[in-house]
């Protein structure tokens, strides 16, 4: 479980996040949603330590990550897998080496074992025959899958996904979403997904935190989202006619 307490962050006196608190459950896909510029990615970066919050802390299973010394931080980081928006694959390495990279650096596994583990993860994300392809040869969806394979290769306890569907077609988006959901349940990981994709919200949002202009306005699940009673959330969710009609059905 990951718990955040009173996280605030400003850039050049511009307040981006204000006193965000909440809990992200183990074995569930926890979503942070909100429109562009609301501070979702900044919150995620504060949680994983890429940014230091001005105030507040992030706790990984009761371990205070924000205030931890370098060694404990390093130890916790080894339990983290992260999927970045663009995949963040290393250009100079092929798919196999990208996936094996965390094992190369963080473990003393023999090569054969590392290869087995990388192949298992690649197979798990549906990329059995792409081992020798370079990052530049992959499509957007494939990059995301390789990113997921790299994120889970080290058996993480915590998985972070920053807008996993950005730039993908709706079909591939659903495949990626389902993969994240399956992996979360299969490995009992605490997963946090930052997204503004409504398909993801309704499809995999087992626990959802809604941010609006740097504040947390609502928390709940995808079953509750259609009757939250929060105007800003309704404006975000029911933006088009299809969603509005869905709301009508759910309310009746």
Q: Which residues bind other proteins (CB under 8 A)?
A: 45, 48-50, 70, 73-75, 77-78, 80, 82, 84-86, 88-91, 101-102, 104-106, 160
Question: In the complex with other proteins, which residue's Cβ is closer, 159 or 201?
Answer: 159
Q: How far is the CB of 227 from other proteins (least distance, A)?
A: 37
Question: In the complex with other proteins, which residue's Cβ is closer, 11 or 245?
Answer: 11
Q: How far is the CB of 34 from other proteins (least distance, A)?
A: 20
Question: In the complex with other proteins, which residue's Cβ is closer, 45 or 207?
Answer: 45
Q: How far is the CB of 38 from other proteins (least distance, A)?
A: 20
Task: Report H helices in the chain.
Answer: 40-48, 70-77, 95-106, 111-124, 140-152, 170-187, 198-204, 231-237, 241-251
Q: Report the alpha-carbon distance of residue 247 to residue 252 in Å, rounded.
A: 9
Tokens matching residue 64: 């205070």
Q: How far is the CB of 238 from other proteins (least distance, A)?
A: 32
Number of helices (H), then strands (E), belonging to the chain: the values are: 9, 10
Question: In the complex with other proteins, which residue's Cβ is closer, 45 or 145?
Answer: 45
Strand partners, 219: 209
**Residue 136 Cα to chain centre, angstroms:** 23
Residue 117: C-alpha distances to residues 60, 78, 109, 204, 233 (Å):
26, 16, 10, 27, 41
CA-derived radius of gyration, the chain: 18
Q: How far is the CB of 74 from other proteins (least distance, A)?
A: 4
Q: How far is the CB of 166 from other proteins (least distance, A)?
A: 12
Q: How far is the CB of 133 from other proteins (least distance, A)?
A: 17
Question: In the complex with other proteins, which residue's Cβ is closer, 77 or 185?
Answer: 77
Nearest residue to 230 via CA among 44, 33, 10: 33
Sheet holding 190-195, edge to edge: 80-83, 158-162, 190-195, 29-33, 207-212, 215-220
Q: Report the alpha-carbon distance of residue 136 to residue 93 in Å, rounded.
A: 10
Question: In the complex with other proteins, which residue's Cβ is closer, 32 or 233?
Answer: 32
């Amino acid at each position: 479980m990951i718990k955040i307490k009173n996280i605030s962050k400003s850039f050049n006196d511009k307040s981006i996040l204000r006193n965000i608190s909440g809990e992200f459950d183990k074995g569930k896909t926890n979503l942070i949603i909100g429109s562009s510029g609301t501070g979702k990615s900044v919150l995620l970066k504060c949680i994983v330590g890429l940014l230091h919050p001005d105030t507040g802390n992030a706790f990984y299973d009761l371990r205070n990550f924000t205030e931890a010394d370098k060694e404990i931080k390093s130890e916790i980081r080894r339990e983290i897998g992260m999927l970045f928006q663009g995949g963040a694959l290393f250009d100079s390495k092929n798919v196999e080496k990208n996936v094996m990279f965390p094992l190369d650096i963080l473990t003393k596994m023999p090569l054969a074992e590392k290869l087995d583990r990388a192949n298992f993860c690649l197979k798990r994300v549906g990329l059995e025959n792409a081992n020798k392809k370079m990052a530049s040869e992959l499509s957007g969806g494939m990059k995301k899958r390789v990113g997921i394979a790299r994120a889970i290769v080290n058996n993480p306890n915590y998985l972070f996904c920053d807008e996993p569907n950005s730039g993908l077609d709706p079909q591939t988006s659903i495949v990626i979403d389902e993969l994240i959901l399956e992996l979360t349940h299969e490995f009992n990981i605490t997963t946090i997904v930052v997204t503004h994709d409504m398909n993801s919200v309704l499809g995999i949002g087992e626990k959802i935190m809604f941010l609006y202009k740097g504040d947390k306005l609502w928390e709940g699940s995808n079953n509750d989202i259609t009757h939250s009673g929060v105007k800003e959330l309704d404006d975000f969710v029911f933006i088009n006619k299809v969603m509005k009609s869905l709301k009508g059905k759910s309310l009746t």
